Amino acid sequence: MRDAGLPLDVCDLVLTGDRGRDIVTIPRLTVAAGEAVGLRGASGAGKSSLLFVLAGLTSRMQGGVLWGETDIVSLPPDARAAFRADHMGIVFQDFLLFEEMDARGNAAVQAMFRTRAQRAALREGAERELAALGLSDTGRRVDSFSGGERQRVAVARALAAKPRVILADEPTANLDRATGDRLIEDLLRLRDGSGQTIIVVSHDERLLRRMDRVLVMEGGRIV
Ligand SMILES: Nc1ncnc2c1ncn2[C@@H]1O[C@H](COP(=O)(O)OP(=O)(O)OP(=O)(O)O)[C@@H](O)[C@H]1O
Domains recognised in the chain with CATH numbers? 8-99+164-222 (3.40.50.300)
Measured in Å, residue 49 CA sits from the centre of ligand 1 at 6
Give the range with max mean pLDDT: 17-26, 79-88, 212-221: 212-221
Q: Which of 13, 18, 47, 199 to mutate to test the pocket of ligand 1 (most atoms within 8 A of CB)?
A: 47
Residue 2 has pLDDT above 60, yes or no: no
- What integer pLDDT is reported at residue 29 of this predicted model? 97
- What integer pLDDT is reported at residue 218 of this predicted model? 97
Handedness of CA 46, 50, 52, 53 (dihedral sign): positive
Measured in Å, residue 162 CA sits from the centre of ligand 1 at 29
Residue 138 has pLDDT above 70, yes or no: yes
- CB burial of 128-144 (b: ≥16 within 10 Å; e: otherwise) equals bbbebbebeebeeebee
Q: Please choose, from the candidates 200, 193, 132, the residue with its C-alpha nearest in 3D space to the C-alpha of residue 166.
A: 200
Q: What percent of the chain has pLDDT over 70?
A: 99
Q: Which of 49, 50, 216 to mutate to test the pocket of ligand 1 (most atoms within 8 A of CB)?
A: 49
Residue 10 has pLDDT above 80, yes or no: yes
- What integer pLDDT is reported at residue 184 of this predicted model? 87
- Model ipTM? 0.92
Residue 1 has pLDDT above 60, yes or no: no
Q: What average pLDDT does the segment 169-198 reach?
A: 85
CA distances from 130 to 11, 57, 71, 148, 158 (A): 37, 26, 33, 13, 11
Convert the pLDDT of each residue in 185-207 to its tens digit: 878 887 888 789 999 999 999 99
Convert the pLDDT of each residue in 37-80 to its tens digit: 999 999 999 999 999 999 998 888 999 999 999 999 999 999 99
Measured in Å, residue 123 CA sits from the centre of ligand 1 at 34
DSSP string, 4-45: -PPPEEEEEEEEE-GGG-EEEEEEEEEE-TT-EEEEEESTTS
Measured in Å, residue 188 CA sits from the centre of ligand 1 at 28
Q: What average pLDDT does the segment 85-106 reach?
A: 87
Instruction: Report d(CA 79, CA 216) in Å as an integer.
Output: 31
Taking CB atoms and a 6 Å cutoff, what residues make up the pocket around ligand 1? 17-18, 21, 23, 41, 43-49
What confidence tier does 27 reach under pLDDT thresholds 50, 70, 90? very high
